[in-house]
Amino acid sequence: MQTNTYILGIESSCDDTAAAVIHNNKICSNVVATQKIHEAYGGVVPELASRAHQQNIVPVIHQALREANIDKKQLSAIAFTRGPGLMGSLLVGTSFAKSLAMGLNIPLIEVNHMQGHILAHFIDDGDNEKPNFPFLAMTISGGHTQIVKVSSHFEMEVIGETIDDAVGEAFDKSAKILGLPYPGGPLIDKYAQTGDPKRFPFTKPKVGPMDFSFSGLKTAVLYFVQREVKNNPNFIEENLEDICASLQYTIVSYLMDKIKNAVKHTGIKEIAIGGGVSANSGIRKALREAESKYNWKTHIPKFEYCTDNAAMIAIVGELKYKEQSFTNLNVSANARMKI
Ligand code: KG4
Ligand code: ZN
pLDDT over 70 at 302, yes or no? yes
Q: Residues 111, 22: contact at Cβ < 8 Å? A: no
What's the pLDDT score for residue 40? Answer: 78
What's the pLDDT score for residue 162? Answer: 97
**Structure-derived torsion over alpha carbons of residues 36, 275, 164, 203, reported in degrees to the nearest 10:** -100
pLDDT interval class at 3 (50, 70, 90):
low
pLDDT over 60 at 7, yes or no? yes
To test the pocket of ligand 1, the residue of 114, 277, 302 to mutate (highest count of ligand atoms within 8 Å of its CB) is: 277
Partners of 164 in the β-ladder: none
Atom of ligand 1 nearest to the CA of 309: 3
Q: What is the pTM assigned to this prediction?
A: 0.94
User: Is any ligand 1 atom within 6 A of the Cβ of residue 186?
Assistant: yes
Residues 158-208: pLDDT tens digits? Answer: 999 999 999 999 999 999 999 999 899 999 999 999 999 999 999 999 999
User: Is any ligand 1 atom within 6 A of the Cβ of residue 14?
Assistant: yes
What's the pLDDT score for residue 164? Answer: 97
The closest residue, in CA terms, to atom 7 on ligand 1 is 142
- How much of the chain exceeds pLDDT 70, in percent? 99
> What is the number of H-type helices and E-type strands within the chain?
9, 10
What's the pLDDT score for residue 66? Answer: 98
Q: How far apart are CA 277 and CA 293, in angstroms?
A: 23
Q: Residues 9, 111: contact at Cβ < 8 Å? A: yes
Task: List the beta strands (DSSP E) in 212-329.
Answer: 270-274, 297-299
User: Is any ligand 1 atom within 6 A of the Cβ of residue 243?
Assistant: no
Question: What integer best gives the mean pLDDT of the chain?
Answer: 95
Please give the span between the terminal C-alpha atoms of the chain, in angstroms, as a whole number.
26
What's the pLDDT score for residue 43? Answer: 79
Query: Residue type at 165?
Result: D
Residues 112-169: pLDDT tens digits? Answer: 999 999 999 999 988 789 999 999 999 999 988 999 999 999 999 999 999 999 999 9
Taking alpha carbons only, the member of 154, 157, 138 closest to residue 146 is: 138
Print burial letters for 114-144: b (CB count within 10 Å at least 16), e (below 16): bbbbbbbbbbeeeeeeebeebbbbbbbbbbb
pLDDT over 70 at 265, yes or no? yes
Ligand nearest the Cα of residue 15 is 1
What contacts 139, CB < 8 A, 6 or more positions away? 114, 117, 118, 145, 146, 148, 273, 274, 275
Lowest-pLDDT choice from 68-72, 103-107, 179-183, 241-245: 179-183
CA of 231 to the centre of ligand 1 (A): 32
What single-letter DSSP state applies at residue 37?
G
Angle at 288 between CA 132 and CA 273, to 5 degrees: 50
User: Is any ligand 1 atom within 6 A of the Cβ of residue 46?
Assistant: no
Q: What is the DSSP string of 170-228?
A: HHHHHHHHTTPPSS-HHHHHHHHTTS-TTSS--PPP---TT-B--HHHHHHHHHHHHHH
Atom of ligand 1 nearest to the CA of 143: 7
Strand order in the sheet with 6-11: 26-34, 16-23, 6-11, 77-83, 108-112
